[in-house]
Amino acid sequence: MTDRSVTIVIANKAYSSWSMRGWLAVRLADIPFEEIVIPLRETNTRTEILKYSPSAKLPALIDGKVTVWESLAIVEYLAEKHPHAPLWPKDPAARAHARSISSEMHGGFIPMRRGLPMNVRRKLPQPDLNDAAKGDINRIQAIWRDCHRRFNGTMGTGPFLFGGFSAADAMFAPVVTRFDTYGVPLEDHAAAYVAAVLKQPFVAEWIAAAGREPWIIPEFEPEGKDAG
Ligand SMILES: N[C@@H](CCC(=O)N[C@@H](CS)C(=O)NCC(=O)O)C(=O)O
Q: Residue 62 is part of a domain; what is its CATH number?
A: 3.40.30.10
Among the three residues 29, 50, 81, which one is the final residue of a domain in this structure?
A: 81
Dist. CA 98 → ligand 1 center (Å) = 22
Asked if the structure places residue 228 within a domain, the reply is: no
Q: Closest Cα to atom 18, ligand 1: which residue?
A: 70
- Mark out the alpha helices in the chain (DSSP H runs): 17-29, 45-50, 71-81, 92-107, 110-115, 131-151, 167-181, 188-199, 201-211
- CA distances in angstroms from 227 to 114, 179, 180, 224, listed in the order given: 20, 13, 11, 9
* Structural domain boundaries enclosing 132: 92-211
Dist. CA 40 → ligand 1 center (Å) = 10
Which residue would you say has higher pLDDT here, 131 or 222?
Answer: 131
- How much is the average pLDDT of 61-70? 97
Q: Would you state the pLDDT for residue 84?
A: 95
Does residue 150 share a domain with residue 56?
Answer: no
Asked if the structure places residue 69 within a domain, the reply is: yes
User: Above pLDDT 70, what percent of the chain?
Assistant: 96
Query: Ligand 1 pocket: which of 40, 45, 57 to mutate (most atoms <8 Å of CB)?
Result: 57
75-114 pLDDT tens trace:
999 999 999 999 999 999 999 999 999 999 999 999 999 9
Q: Are 11 and 37 in contact (CB under 8 A)?
A: yes
User: Residue 1 above 60 pLDDT?
Assistant: no
- How much is the average pLDDT of 157-171? 97
Dist. CA 188 → ligand 1 center (Å) = 32
Dist. CA 11 → ligand 1 center (Å) = 8
Query: Ligand 1 pocket: which of 47, 58, 69, 110 to mutate (most atoms <8 Å of CB)?
Result: 58
Q: How many CA atoms are closer than 13 Å to the CA of 228, on its beta-carbon side?
A: 1
Asked if the structure places residue 175 within a domain, the reply is: yes
Q: Would you state the pLDDT for residue 225?
A: 47
User: Above pLDDT 90, what percent of the chain?
Assistant: 93
Q: Are 142 and 173 in contact (CB under 8 A)?
A: no
Residues with CB under 6 A from ligand 1: 11, 16-19, 40, 45-46, 57-59, 70-71, 106
> How many structural domains is the chain composed of?
2
Asked if the structure places residue 217 within a domain, the reply is: no
Does residue 50 share a domain with residue 69?
Answer: yes
Dist. CA 59 → ligand 1 center (Å) = 7
13-50 pLDDT tens trace:
999 999 999 999 999 999 999 999 999 999 999 999 99
Whether the model clears a pTM of 0.85, i.e. scores above it, the answer is yes
Asked if the structure places residue 31 within a domain, the reply is: yes
User: Residue 164 above 90 pLDDT?
Assistant: yes
Asked if the structure places residue 227 within a domain, the reply is: no
User: Which residues fall within 8 angstroms of residue 30, CB to CB, at 6 or more apart?
Assistant: 82, 85
Q: Closest Cα to atom 6, ligand 1: which residue?
A: 57
- How much is the average pLDDT of 171-183? 98
Assign 226 a pLDDT band (cuts: 50, 70, 90): low
Q: Would you state the pLDDT for residue 95?
A: 97
Does residue 157 share a domain with residue 116?
Answer: yes
- How much is the average pLDDT of 182-187? 97
Does residue 121 share a domain with residue 97?
Answer: yes
Does residue 97 share a domain with residue 69?
Answer: no
Does residue 96 share a domain with residue 76?
Answer: no
Dist. CA 60 → ligand 1 center (Å) = 10
Does residue 74 share a domain with residue 19?
Answer: yes
Asked if the structure places residue 86 within a domain, the reply is: no
